[in-house]
Amino acid sequence: MAEAHQAVAFQFTVTPEGIDLQLSHQALKEIYLSGVRAWKKRCARIRNNIVTGVYPASPSSWLFVALTVVGTMYTRVDPSMGMIGKIKEHLPVKRCLSHQGQNIMSALLFATVLWLALIYMMRQILKTLLSYHGWMFEEHGKASNMTRIWFTMVKIFSGRKPMLYSFQASLPRLPVPTIQDTMQRYLESVRPLMNDEEFHRMEALAKDFEVKLGPRLQWYLKLKSWWATNYVSDWWEEYVYLRGREPIMVNSNYYAMDFLYVTPTPIQAARAGNLTHALLLYRRKLTREEIKPSTLPGLPVPLCSSQWERMFNSTRTPGQETGKTAHFVIVNANLQLGFLFHCISPTCWVVNAGTWNTPRALTGALFERIPWGKARKSFFSNGKNRSSLDCVEKAAFFLTLDGDKPGLQVEDPVKSLDAYAKLLLHGKCYDRWFDKSFTLIVFENGKVGLNAEHSWADAPIIGHLWEVMYDPLQITKGVGTGSGRTKYPFDLGMNSHLDCQEVISGSLKVAQSLANDVDFHTFPFTKFGKGLIKKCRTSPDAFIQLALQLANFRDKGKFCLTYESSMTRLFREGRTETVRSCTIQSSNFVRAMEDHLSASECLKLFHLAAKTHQHISRLSMAGCGIDRHLFCLYVVSKYLGVHSPFLQEVLSEPWSLSTSQTPLQQVELFDLLNHPEYISCGGGFGPVSDQVASSFCVVSVNYVPF
């Protein structure tokens, strides 16, 4: 009865003496605090919108402009060149104001318009500056005078103390490449993959497309680029991710791995409590837009921040033809059997009595081990199951307490890391919620990892979260079992039917078959890192890609279409572009190595190939890539109901080698040179092809600074 009494704010009883009214002060206090928190959030959101809306100026700059304009009036100088007088003549409230009041009101209105015009001008100047990418193609360390002036201008017009979304309105739109440029670059990219007859055939198809159908499709694409914020991103998310009908486990989701040599605590609940606390602090900063916007490393060039918006409290929901990404912590403790993509879990309160639960309190809560049943979305349409599903889908993120004990074993590093990576990529196939924006996985020995859904954002965004969460200042070396007040996890509950169990069993078999078909080969490489590569005046990325081309040719005896992701976040709502790493120059280098030419000749071809790779990578970053343009042209052709043999063939070409790299230390929280034990194995993703040869597919490359 005590619990029931506390569940209501008041109760009353009608007696012969009247109405006996009893108030629960604790409940009323909670209602009051809830309202205060809600209004604080509203006010903070309004404030953030104002500050971001007037950036790169500040709201206080209006006062400076207003005082300057009003002050000049008393010096008998009209800075408006008659505009203040015109405003005064048409003031709707001038009858209610004195002559002096009309002057001040007119001056303030003019100052406001002038202030807004200055903001618009500053923003347009910054957007124009950020549309210039010539600096990107200059040799490293040899910036021209024009580039130095450009960097100075960007710093001046970038303002001070930007918030997370301050630069969004100043970022340029992604440009649409010309049909001619795309055709030329495409043919250059496929030349080393085809013999003369195949290439001449493809050349004829490309030329026919460029002259006939291409200009028509390009016109519609140009129209979209003028109207939409980004002509690629919405279609990319819709058709590449959400309309995909394959399981997103292995095929889409990617993972991030823990420190290799450091485990702050072997206590599972302690590690989970600390990291959950760190994630919630990050979410609070994200909500308040206090996260510093990302820039290119060492440069004042801002990157798009739009992908941060759906990091927390988001889930991907499936549909018949397409899915969607829709916007309490969910805890999953050693499931016995669960649905392939959805597992109902206990709910853990992370805010208690209006205050954040401490890592110690969360540690105690996370010791609970509650077994859970099976579920499938079609059985969660109403009642208790619907409520449970809503709790999971609206959760901040998903947390799994895993019973395995992975980690780097010095005596067998390859086998141990292979097992670790597979646990993070797919687990046991029933103990992850792959549709959530991300799942935090904490193992029994204190090691952790993360599995991220791909449609809402790309790896660098999760990488930023991962690094901030790993701030050594937030890592507790040892935490007890927890004490103090906290609300313990409770069972969301569900009603499981026999039909549901049969569907789950069938889905589990499919998932296990998919997981068993994935081979990993992960190992730490400590002989040298990016520092040595840079000393050789070579791009680490180009070095790795050329090494992959050589290894792949020796493995398969031929060249293949190679995918490397490159970001386009220099543009608003930009995501990725493809760098076609297999080039004419890289194939010449590989053949020279295989033909055992002299070292000097091979080195010459290597530097030429590396320079070419850097050039096409920069073109992709500058919005001049090939594949996103071709993809959008293909989408337009489908909407128009026209068939293009060229686009059909291009879009059906398999990526037999898929690679990616996400640099470490986006935020530089600690010095890896002096603390190399804080190195991570980075992350990875599943193969993109069903062919046996795709087992050579490379996971994310991270350059160890040893």
User: At a CB cut-off of 8 Å and minimum separation 6, what does 229 contact?
Assistant: 173, 572, 573
CA 535 to centroid of chain Cα atoms: 31
Q: Provide φ and ψ at 188, rounded to 5°.
A: -65, -35
My answer on whether 507 and 587 are in the same domain is no
* One domain for residues 410 and 323: yes
Q: Is pLDDT larger for residue 360 or for residue 204? A: 204
What's the pLDDT tens digit per position in 240-249?
Answer: 888 776 778 8
Mean of the pLDDT values across residues 447-472? 86
- pLDDT tens for 626-636 read 999 999 999 99
Phi, psi of 164 (to 5 degrees): -55, -45
For residue 487, what pLDDT band results from cuts at 50, 70 and 90? low
Whether 319 and 466 map to the same domain: the answer is yes
List own/partner pairs for 445-448 with CB under 8 A and 24 or more apart: 445/263, 445/266, 445/268, 445/405, 445/406, 445/407, 446/263, 446/264, 446/265, 446/266, 446/267, 446/268, 446/270, 446/271, 447/258, 447/263, 447/405, 447/406, 447/407, 447/420, 448/258, 448/271, 448/275
Rounded to an integer, the average pLDDT of 607-622 is 95
Counting residues of the chain whose pLDDT is more than 90, the rounded percentage is 38
What the block records as the tokens of 411 is 């005596």
Q: Tell me, yes or no, whether 450 lies in a domain.
A: yes
Q: What is the pLDDT of residues 531-588, one digit of tens each?
A: 888 888 898 899 999 999 999 999 889 999 999 999 999 999 999 999 999 999 999 9
| 287-294 long-range Cβ contacts below 8 angstroms, 24+ apart | 287/41, 288/44, 288/48, 289/48, 289/52, 289/163, 289/164, 289/165, 290/163, 290/164, 291/164, 292/162, 292/164, 293/162, 293/163, 293/164, 293/165, 293/166, 293/167, 294/460, 294/464, 294/569, 294/666
CA distance 214 to 77: 59
Which residues are 352's β-sheet partners?
A: 355
Q: Give the whole-number percent of the chain exceeding pLDDT 70.
A: 79
Match 């950036």 to its residue by tokens: 55
pLDDT at 168 over 90: yes
pLDDT of 338 above 80: no
Asked whether residue 551 falls in the same domain as residue 588, the answer is: yes
Average pLDDT, the chain: 81
Decide if 305 contacts 65 (C-beta within 8 A): no
DSSP characters over 193-211: GS-HHHHHHHHHHHHHHHH
Rounded CA separation 104/13 (Å):
62
Residues in the chain, how many?
706
- Give 444's pLDDT tier (boundaries 50, 70, 90): very high
Answer yes or no: is 674 within a domain.
Answer: no
Model confidence at 381, in pLDDT bands (50, 70, 90)? low
* Residue 543 CA, distance from chain mean position: 26
- In this structure, the number of other CB atoms found within 10 A of the CB of residue 571 comes to 25
* Residue 140 resides in a domain: no
Residue 157 resides in a domain: no
Listed residues 661, 676, 701: the one ending a domain: 661
Lowest-confidence range among 239-248, 296-305, 320-329? 320-329
Residue 466: is its pLDDT beyond 70?
Answer: yes
Helix or strand run (H / E) with residue 149:
helix 145-157
Confidence of residue 368 (pLDDT cuts 50, 70, 90): low
Q: Is residue 288 part of a domain?
A: no
Across-strand partners of 400?
332, 441
Are residues 547 and 426 both part of a single domain? no
Could you give the number of structural domains in the chain? 2
- Give the separation between CA 633 and CA 221, rounded to whole angstroms: 7
- Shared domain for 479 and 565, answered yes or no, is no
Domain boundary pick from 468, 499, 522: 522
Lowest mean pLDDT across 453-462, 469-478, 681-690: 469-478
Does residue 328 fall inside a structural domain?
A: yes
Predicted confidence (pLDDT) per residue in 673-687, tens digit: 777 777 787 888 888
Beta strands (DSSP E) in 513-598 are 562-567, 576-580
Which residue type does 539 have?
S
Band of residue 374 on the pLDDT scale cut at 50, 70, 90: very low
Domain co-membership, 473 together with 553 = no
Q: Name the DSSP letter for residue 338.
A: -
In a domain, 367, yes or no: yes
Q: What is the pLDDT of residue 297?
A: 82
The answer to whether residues 490 and 351 belong to one domain is: yes
* CATH number of the structural domain spanning residue 428: 3.30.559.70
- Examine residue 401 and state whether it is found in any structural domain, yes or no: yes
Q: 575 with 504, same domain?
A: no
**Ranges 184-193, 263-272, 565-574: which has the least confidence:** 263-272
Laid out side by side, the sheet with 657-659 consists of 576-580, 562-567, 657-659
pLDDT surpassing 70 at residue 494: no
Domain end, chosen from 498, 522, 546, is at 522
Residue range 581-609: mean pLDDT, rounded: 95
pLDDT for residue 706 is more than 70: no
Does position 128 have pLDDT exceeding 90, yes or no? Answer: yes
Same domain for 384 and 531, yes or no, is no
Q: ω before 56 within 30° of 0 (cis)? A: yes
User: How confident is the model at residue 700, as a pLDDT?
Assistant: 36
In the predicted model, is pLDDT for residue 191 greater than 90? Answer: yes
Considering the domain architecture, whether residues 374 and 513 belong to the same structural domain is answered as yes
Specify the pTM: 0.85
The predicted structure's pLDDT at residue 345: 39
Residues 343 and 467 in one domain: yes
Residue 152 has pLDDT above 60, yes or no: yes
Per the annotation, the verdict on 454 as an active-site residue is: yes
The closest alpha carbon to 127, from 154, 106, 91, 165, belongs to 154
Boundaries of domain holding 501: 239-268+306-522
Q: Of 277, 342, 426, 454, which is the active-site residue?
A: 454
CATH code for the domain in which residue 584 is found: 3.30.559.10
